[in-house]
Amino acid sequence: MYDRLMRLVAALESAEALVASDGEHNAIVCGLNEANNSTYHLRANQGFTGETGNEIDAWADATMKRVQGIKESHNSAMEYYVEARRAMKHICEEAQQLSPNLIDASLQQLADAAHVVVPVTKYLGPLGQPINALAVSADAYFQALIMQANDRREINSTDILERANNTMQELANGVTEQTVQLEDPGSHQWAPKGPSTPSVRKDIENGYLNVSRHKPGVYPGNRDNDYGRSDLRGPRSGLYPDGYNEGGPVSDRVMSSQRIPNRFTTEGEVGSRLNPITDPQDLAGIDLLHTRVNGDRHANGTIGGYTPAPPTDRHHPLWKLNGGPGDEKSLAARLGGVGVLAAGALGTGVAARFASMSSGNAINGMTSLRAGAYAAPGYGSSAARGTTTPLSGSSGVSANRAGATGQGGFMGGAGGSGSGAKDEKKGRRCKYTPFRVDDDDELPEGYVNPLSQTYGSEKDIEPVSRKNDGWDIRQW
Instruction: State the pLDDT at residue 420.
Output: 47
Instruction: State the pLDDT at residue 468.
Output: 59
Residues 234 and 379 in one domain: yes
Question: Distance of CA 197 to CAs 89, 158, 185, 216, Å?
Answer: 17, 29, 27, 8
Instruction: State the pLDDT at residue 229.
Output: 93
Q: Which residue has the higher pLDDT, 469 or 159?
A: 159
**Residues 111, 103: Cα–Cα separation, whole Å:** 13
Residues 131 and 235 in one domain: yes
Instruction: State the pLDDT at residue 317.
Output: 94
Contact 378, 167 (CB under 8 A): no
Instruction: State the pLDDT at residue 128.
Output: 63
Q: Which residue has the higher pLDDT, 303 or 395?
A: 303
Nearest to 159 by CA among 230, 219, 231, 224: 219
Q: Which residues, in sequence order, are bridge partners of residue 123? A: 131
Instruction: State the pLDDT at residue 332.
Output: 75
388: phi then psi, degrees, rounded to nearest 5: -125, 160
User: How does residue 222 score in pLDDT terms, banded at 50, 70 and 90?
Assistant: confident
Is 463 among the domain residues? no
Q: What is the dihedral of CA 276, 278, 284, 286, to 10 degrees?
A: 30
Instruction: State the pLDDT at residue 402.
Output: 34
Instruction: State the pLDDT at residue 242.
Output: 85
Q: 28 pLDDT exceeds 80?
A: yes
Least confident of 118-127, 195-204, 323-332: 118-127
User: How does residue 475 score in pLDDT terms, banded at 50, 70 and 90?
Assistant: low
Q: 379 pLDDT exceeds 60?
A: no
Q: 443 pLDDT exceeds 70?
A: no
* CA–CA–CA angle 127, 133, 138 (5° rounding): 120
| Residue at a domain's end among 217, 244, 261 | 217
Helices (H) and strands (E) in the chain, counts: 11, 4
Instruction: State the pLDDT at residue 368.
Output: 28
Is 253 among the domain residues? yes
Q: Residues 114-142: what's their mean pLDDT?
A: 82
Residues 197 and 125 in one domain: no
Q: 456 pLDDT exceeds 60?
A: no
Q: Residues 319-323: what's their mean pLDDT?
A: 93
Instruction: State the pLDDT at residue 1.
Output: 94
Residues 195 and 113 in one domain: no
Instruction: State the pLDDT at residue 191.
Output: 60
Residues 213 and 171 in one domain: yes
| Residue at a domain's end among 373, 399, 420 | 420
Task: State if pTM tops 0.85.
Answer: no
Residue 381: domain span: 105-154+229-420
Share of the chain above pLDDT 90, in %: 41
Residues 184 and 248 in one domain: no
Q: Residues 143-150: what's their mean pLDDT?
A: 93
Q: Residues 419-448: what's their mean pLDDT?
A: 49
Least confident of 39-48, 183-192, 282-291, 361-370: 361-370
Q: Which residue has the higher pLDDT, 375 or 235?
A: 235
Is 439 among the domain residues? no
Q: Residues 437-459: what's their mean pLDDT?
A: 54
Residues 61 and 208 in one domain: yes
User: How does residue 141 score in pLDDT terms, banded at 50, 70 and 90?
Assistant: very high
- Position 115, amino acid: H
User: How does residue 125 score in pLDDT terms, banded at 50, 70 and 90?
Assistant: low
Residues 149 and 160 in one domain: no
Least confident of 158-172, 285-299, 349-363: 349-363
Instruction: State the pLDDT at residue 73.
Output: 85
Is 404 among the domain residues? yes
Is 262 among the domain residues? yes
Residues 261 and 392 in one domain: yes
Instruction: State the pLDDT at residue 134.
Output: 92
| Residue at a domain's end among 217, 248, 267 | 217
Is 458 among the domain residues? no
User: How does residue 230 score in pLDDT terms, banded at 50, 70 and 90?
Assistant: very high
Is 428 among the domain residues? no
Q: 464 pLDDT exceeds 90?
A: no
**Residues 445, 115: Cα–Cα separation, whole Å:** 29
- pLDDT averaged over the chain? 75
**Residues 7, 319: Cα–Cα separation, whole Å:** 24
Instruction: State the pLDDT at residue 216.
Output: 86
40-82 pLDDT per residue, tens: 999 999 889 899 999 999 999 999 988 888 888 889 889 999 9
The beta strands (E) that lie in 154-242 are given as none
**Residues 403, 210: Cα–Cα separation, whole Å:** 58
Residues 293 and 382 in one domain: yes
User: How does residue 440 score in pLDDT terms, banded at 50, 70 and 90?
Assistant: low
User: How does residue 91 score in pLDDT terms, banded at 50, 70 and 90?
Assistant: very high
**Residues 373, 398: Cα–Cα separation, whole Å:** 20
**Residues 39, 427: Cα–Cα separation, whole Å:** 101
Least confident of 128-142, 226-240, 275-289, 349-363: 349-363
Residues 45 and 84 in one domain: yes
161-199 pLDDT per residue, tens: 999 999 999 999 888 887 777 777 555 555 667 899 999
Q: How many domains does the chain have?
A: 2
Is 433 among the domain residues? no
Contact 92, 12 (CB under 8 A): yes
Q: Which residue has the higher pLDDT, 438 or 69?
A: 69
Instruction: State the pLDDT at residue 328.
Output: 80
**Residues 418, 402: Cα–Cα separation, whole Å:** 15
Residues 166 and 137 in one domain: no
Share of the chain above pLDDT 70, in %: 67
Contact 339, 345 (CB under 8 A): yes
